[in-house]
Each structure stands twice: as C-alpha cells, then as structure tokens.
Structure 1
Amino acid sequence: MFSSSGFSLVSAFTDDDQRLNRSQKIHRENERANLLTITRIVLRAFLEQTMAENNRILECDTQQVSDLLMMLEKVLWHGFKAPGQKALIVLKSPDAEMWATIVKIAKTDAAMLETATCVDQIESLLTPISRLRAFLRLAMMQKKLFDFYTVISSSPLLKIFYEDWALLRQEEIVQLTGALLGLSVVDCNLVLEHDHLQEQPLSVDLSLYIRIPTLPTEGEDINSANGTASHNKEKKMLLDQNNYLEERNRQLHWYHSKTSITLKTANRLEAKRKNGKKNGSDYLDRQIVEREDSLRIVQQQLVDTKKINTDLYDKLKLADEKWRKLEKDLARVREQYAEESQILKTTISKLEMSNAVLQENVQKRNENDQAIREELEKKYGQHTELVGILQEKQNALAQAESELLVLRRKVDSLEKELKEMPFLKEEMRELSEKYACAAERAEQSERALEELGGHLSESKLRMLELAEELLPLSDAHWANDSDVTQCTACSEKFSLSKRKHHCRMCGSIFCASCSEGRIKLPSNSKPARVCDQCFTLLKNRHS
C-alpha cells in the first residue's frame, strides 16, 4: 500500500500545478481514507487491549506499538514532496529531507525542538529514518504525540513540503490528532537502538486488528479471574492516582510559569514606578512580597508533589513486579499482596496526615506573614517620622556649622590683627620720627626759598629775554620723513648711504654734513644735533 519511505515518485517528478483528473482524485481520496481508517483501527486496538489487560506500563516494543508508530510514520510520509528530488543531481535522500522538514517545523515549538535536539544528540542513530522513528518513540514516552502532531498539522510550512491532497493538510487529521490524546494514559519505555529502528517492518498485519466473531469457549478459569480481579482493581487505582498526579504536576508547572510571569510583570512595573509616589511604591513592594511568598509555596508544593509522584511510581513498579510473581505462585502472592496493600494504605494515610499537617503549617505561616506585614507597616511609619526628625536636625546642624565657620573666621581675623599690633606701633614710631625729620627739612626749605626769592626775580627776567630770542623759532614744526626727499640746505637727494637727520631746533630734515653741530638746548640738558644755521645762531647767543 505504501513505499518503503512513504515518498511518491509520481509526486516528485510531476508539476505541482498540474490538475488531477477524476480517477486520480478518487485514488487520492481512497488512499487518504484507507490510511486514516487503518491508523485509527490500530490505535483503537492498542488502547482497548491496554485497558482490557490493565497494563498501562510497557517495558519494551510490542507488535501493536510497532504497528501504531509505523502508521503514524506513514501519515507523515503521505503527500510529502522533497524539494531536492526534482533536481537533476539529488544531494539528499527523501529520508534526510523528511527529517530536515520535521526539524524546521520543530523550531516553532520549544518542547518539540527540545525533543528533536535530544534525538540529534544520540550518536548511535546514523540514518535520518532512524532519527525520525526515534523521535516518534521519544514523543510517545514523553506523552507528547498529541502536542507534536497538533503543531505539525497547524504549521504554515505544510504548504511548502506537502501536496494539497496530503492527509496532514486535510480536516480529517483533526480526528486522528484528537485520538492520539488517549495515549497519555500509557507509560512506556521503548527501545532507541539504531539496528532495531532501522529494521522496523514497513507493512502492517491487519489480521491482528480485524477479527471475526467466534463463540466463547467453556471451561475458562473463573477462579483465577476472580483471584486477580481485586489485584487489577488496586493496580488500576494506582495508575489512576499516577495519572492524576501527573496532571496535577502539569497544572502546578503551568501555575508556576504563570506566577513567574506575574512576578516579572510586577518587577517591571515596580521599576517603572520607582520614581513615582511613595504609596504606590509601597503597594508594589507588598504585591511583590505576596507574589514571592505564593511562588515559594507553589514551588514547595511542586517539590512535595514530585516526591509523592516518585514514591508512588516506585511503589507502582514494585507492585507490578510482585504481580508478575503472582502468576507463578498465586497462593503465596495473595498473602504478599495483602501485606503490600496494607502497606500502601498505611502509606497513603500517612501521606494524607502529612498533607493535613503541611496545610496547617501553611495556614499558620500565612497568619504569621500577615502579622509580620502589619508590624512592617508600623515600622515603615516610624521610620518615616524618624527620617523627618533627622532631616530637621541635620538642617539645624548645618546652619550651626555655617555660623560657627563665620565666627571662626572673625576670630582668626581678630587674632591676626592682634598679632600685627606690635608691628603697627613700631611702624607708627618710625613714621613719627620721619615726620619730625620732614618737618625740619621743610623749615630749612622755607628758609632756602626766602634766600632764593631774590635770585628768582633775576631768573624771571632772563626767561623773558630767552622767550624774545626764541620767538622767531616758535613757528617751527617737525618735518615728516615721508614728505622730504632731499636735504633742506644742500638739496642733495637722500639714499641708503645718505641718511636723514632732524634738526632739534627748527625741526627740518638735513643730511649728516649739514647737521654736524651739537649744542645744548633749553629743552634738553644734553647736547643735541642741530643744522648749521641754528648752530651758528645759538652759538652767537651763548657767547
């Protein structure tokens, strides 16, 4: 009915856009319906046998488990189109293309990606088909076949890797996916060896699942059935408890993740409102404390539940081993079974008592936490008042320190002035002596001025004479160097070798030969350069 790898050569080398005729459509529909029907028959037979025998723990592969996993593998292969198979040179096998597709789809779900990564890390699995089969077995052991097939059937990548008529792209896959949820009641431990996975049969013997009704045979061992009925009932109860604890464990995990998200949200809100009002900050602090307490309580409950689950699972395994021994010696095992039942009942009663004690402790702890919160609120109020008082004291202290600093500066200045007093007295005495000397000199100067009064009148007359003599020269002005290009006396042009010289008397510009004379002027005590004309005039005046 199917090829060895589930890959259709027709779909690999035909155009995806080619329209199917009526016979091909009917063939595809029949093929899809047959695959879905056979898969559901195998799944239903497996679940019915498991429930009828009350044996929900599988320690190895059975014929029905192998057939069920093979049918689920064929569902994955149905309508699969490998992109690399249309090329002239095929680089990957269809098995490798299928495993690569599963890995790509798994990247959209964290749990599925973790399982696929775990399979890839198994070094003994050498071929892609062995990895694919190991993935299905590992998902069944993890009770996640329903989740993984739901992710695959709802993935948007199906349009790329599967034909339109593939079972995974039809609405009927929802029925099969929902039926896989019943596998969560079965605990199994399957083989993941490469040789075992590589040599799995590619067909299913339908004679094991399609049965012809027959008349019941007489002479069945009614006593043996009655003997094991109570044991099966007890074992079913333990399995139900195990499933309940697993479901409770899953709920606690969900509540733990929800509480973690709530705690992170509260932390972010607390960080955003940190600069807000103090009342809002206090409310967030109390909210975070309550969430942390709830998270701590839930974590403790989760640890206790895991411990109880582990103990019950170990005891369930022990009870199963004892049940196998009962098949060999029923009489001896009945007594042992009664003892084990009593032990289990005692253990359950103890656990219930421990649970009641734990609940009382939790209630007391909550009451203590409430009292501590009230006391903490009072302490917060007292702390606020003390902080206000401390702030006032600090302000008063700062003001007193500033006043003390001003007073210290005044004291330092006064001490400095006090130290300088002896020097000021000494300086005052020296100034008094200098004043006396200056007064004496002033008197001498007044007497000298009186003596020079007569000489001053003579000098005044002399100054009048000099003013009359210098009157002709009063109109003289200082000549500008840039305006004069030749000597005023000899009219020779100035050059680099013939320099310009001003007459200090008339202000005109002459050459060196025409201004060789030097004589004392009234405005200057030292002899100054004058022209020949002014030199002759001044010399006659002095003589």
Structure 2
Amino acid sequence: MEERANLMNMMKVSIKVLIQSALNLGRSLDSDYPLLQQFFFVMEHCLKHGLKVKKSFIGQSKSFFGPLELVEKLCPESSDIFANIRNIPEIKTSVGRGRAWLHLSLMQKKLADYLQLLIDHKDLLSDFYEHEALMMEEEGAVIVGLLVGLNMIDANLCLKGEDLDSQVGIIDFSFCLKDTQLNDHSDKKADEIATILDQKHYVEELNKHLSCTVGDLQSKIEFLEKSNSKLNDELVAAKDRIVSLQDEHNQLLQESILLQKKSERSVEVNMQDTKVELETYKQTRQGLDEMYNETWKQLRIEKQARLELEKELELQLGFKTEMEMAMKLLEKDVHEKQDTLVVLRKQLDDVKSINLQMCQKIKEAEIALQKKNETLSLLQAKSDQMDSVTKVQEQRLQKSEKARQTSEENVIKMQKEYDAKIVTLQQHLEKMTKQSSSLEHDLKSEREQQKTLQQELHKEKDNNECLQNELQQYSQLKKDFDKVLLEKKQLEKLCDEQEQALQEMGLHLSQSKLKMEDIKEVNKALKGHSWLKDDEAIGCKQCNKEFSISRRKHHCRNCGDIFCNTCSSNELSLPSYPKPVRVCDTCHNLLLQRCSSNCS
C-alpha cells in the first residue's frame, strides 16, 4: 500500500512539473529533456508494480511489455506502433520495446487512451499483474486521468540513436524540488494559469470526442434515410411487377385449361388403343404358355430315364473294377508262389480253370457294356434333339416377351409425358402465386422493420443510461467482494494453521503415552515377576488341572506363574528376552493388544 501511494505521488509530481515546464518552453519537448526522461522512468516503475513472474525454458522473466502487447489485440489502430518497434534493429530486449512503446504512444498523444483500454479489461490484466498491483486498483484509473493532461504537449522523440535496452531507470526529484521552490517564492499565478490551460485542453479534447460521435450519428441517419428512399422505390417497382405478373398469371391459366382439354382427349384415344393391344397380347401369351408346359413335361421324363441309365452304368463299372482288382491280386499270388510250383500243380490247374471261367465272364460283361454304350449314345442323341427343340421354343418365348415389354414401355412413356406436362404447368402456377404472396409479405415486413428500428433506437438509448448506472454499482460491489475474499482467505489460513497445530499436539501426546507404557514394561521386566517354585504349584493356574507325568509344568516368562502345555503354547519376544519365549494365553492376548495399539 505504501509503495503504491509513493508511486502515485511521484507520478502526480512528475506530470505536474512536465506540464509546467512545457508551458514555459512552448509545449514542445525533445528526447534529451531531463524532466521527460524522469517521467518515463516513473511510468516504467508504475507499470512494473505487482508484475507476476513468468517462467520459461531460459528462466524467470518479469517484463512490463507483456501487458502492453494486449493493446494491439484490443485496439487495431495501435498496430503501427508495434510494427515500428519490431522494425528497429537496435532494440532487442522486452524492456527496450516497452520503453519505445511509451515514447511512440506519447508522440501520438494516445497514451491515456491505450492505458484506459487495458484498465477496462482487467480480466486480461490479471494474467500479468497480481491483485494488489497499481494497475489493478483505483490508482490506475487516476493515473490515466492525469495522463490526459499530457495531450497538450508536443513531443519530438527520436528512437534510432538511443540505447533503450541498457538505460538505468533512476528517479531524480531534484528538478521538481528546484522548480517548486522557485515557483513558491516567485509567482503562484503560473500554477493557476497551468491548471486553467489543462482544463481548457481537457474540454477541447472532450469536444473533439463529442463532435466525432455527432458526426457518426449524422452519417448513420443519412444512411438510414437513403435506405428508406431505396426501399420506397423498390416498393413501387414491386407493385408494378405484381400487376404484370397477375396479367401473365391469367393468360397462363387460360392456356393451361386448353392444354388440359387437349391432353385429356389424347389420353382417351391412347387408352383405347392400349386396351386393344393388351387383349391381343393376352391371347398370344396363353397359347405360348401351353406349348411351354408340354415341352417341359417331356423334358422331365427324358431326364429321369437318363439318370436311371447312368446309375446302371455306374454299377457295371464297379463290377469291372472289382474284377480288375481280383486279377491283380491273383497275379501277385502267382509271382509269390513260383518257388512252390512243383508242390502246387494241382492248385494251378484249378486256378487256370477259374481263370478261363473268369475270362468268359469278362467277355460277356464287355459285350453287355458295348450294348449299353450303344443305347446310351442313342439316348444322348434323343436328348440333344429335345434340347434343340426347347431352345427354339425359348427363343420364340423371348421374342414375344420383348414385343410385350416394348408395347408396355411405349404406353408408360406416353403417360409420363402427359403427367410431366401437367405437373410443370401446375408448378408454374404455384410459383407465380408464391411470388405474388412473397412480395406482399416483403412489403409488410419492411414497413414493420422501419417501425422496429425506430423503437430499438429509443430502447438502446435507455439501455445505455441503465448500463452506465449498473457499471458504477458493479465497480463498488466488486471492491467490496475483493475485500471479503481477502478476509476469507486470511481466516482460512488461520483455521488451517490451528488444525495442523492440533494434529501435531495429538501425535506428540499419543507418542508420549506409548513411550510411557514401554518404559513401564521395561521396569517390570528389570524388577522381575514373582517366579513360582515347582513345589508350590499343584495344578495349572488357568485350567486348574493337576500336574502329572503326562501333564508337565511350564513357567510363563512374563508373569512367572506355572501352566500346562496347552495353556502356555504361545511364544512372543519380550523386552527382557530378545528371542521369542513361552507365554501363557492371558499374557499373549494382553501383549498382542498393546502391539496393535502401538501400531495404530
């Protein structure tokens, strides 16, 4: 807060001194003028206040040229400044570019306007500045108001010879102090004259803005009047067109009635001709269908006979293959038994007789095969003759069907042509009616638009006034909301810190309790429990069963009492015993409970 107030005071003093010196020197300043350089240094510090650190591959950077680049997007007129900055080869850093931008915008007398654009778009500035930055608070708007007074100064600045990248921005207020002391003692009237001149220039600039807005509104009114005159001319032309279209519509209606009558007569004549042709075609088709059915039945009978013959042939071929296989087997037997010819002559004679009988059977089978082959060839010839007959009949059928199809197609074409003509005439009539209705509708809509435009102009004026009032209320509410948010964040931080402190205290307490229990156990182990002697125990302390040769005595290493094997079968590591030792059931359960509590 103090830094912001100091920067604000420095800015006020530097602007005041600049204006006074410019009035004394004749309102034109060069780049070598020291007070102007001091103003740029103060302005640079104001723009740097509250800047966020941007991280990149090279490292962290903090430059005030980043938010100034938003002006190019928000105001396309400022693109010339940025183009000139990029074309200067001597400027290589972002700090140099920012300083060059300040010089050029002051020369153009638009520094206040550009900064006002940035302040109006604080949602974009929040990416570069923190919430407590000077440009994000009310001081930014005050600075913009002060910068409006600099528009009276004519700055003649040259950027080519200057080294803006390596300049060190040191603020020196000795000039201001000197000027103020001289002015206080010499004449106070100069201050009054400067203020009057500032107010005069401010009023002149406001008048310029108002004259620009008045000129825009007058141009809009002239444009609307021209558009109204054009619309009236178009209305007159549209009325003339409607009259001519109605005349054409009546003529077309008469022509369409005549065409309909002619088409109806021609359709009736064509329908009678087509009916006669259809009756003749039906009679020819019936005769052809009967012929086709008879030939198809004969074909089926012949196909069945042929299938039966093929089956018989397959059976005979199977017999033949079986006989050939038997012959082969016999020949193998003969080759194998040539060594035993002397012993098996009698069997050979029998085989020869069998061979003779088989040869006779083969000959008979071959003769039967030849006969069946001849019958097959005859049947095939018959089937070929039948196929040729069927082909001729099918060709006749195809010719008749083609003739029928051509006649049907001709009839359909005639019907389509007449239908198309009727449809086109109807469509033309509908188009004409639609055009007339649409023109009448356009006339009504244009009249209504004129009325609505006038009403909207009045509404927009009222809305502008309401929006200005709402903007003022919104700015106040936003400030209150920001204050409430800051208080909320502070309270949340306090709550989080207190919760963390409580958690740490709870952890310390639980750890201290566990340590105390461990210390107690160690003390018990060091002191030692009362170790019972074997003679003192007659039975087990837990189950009360008497000891015997089979039920032996066992000491619990934790409590020192004597138990049987079943009641002291567990083992655990104790503080006094590093290795696991025998423990009774009760001590085992207690020790396990302690371990589980320590772990949790």
When normalised by structure 1's length, the TM-score is 0.40
Structure with more of its chain in helix, by fraction: 2
When normalised by structure 2's length, the TM-score is 0.37
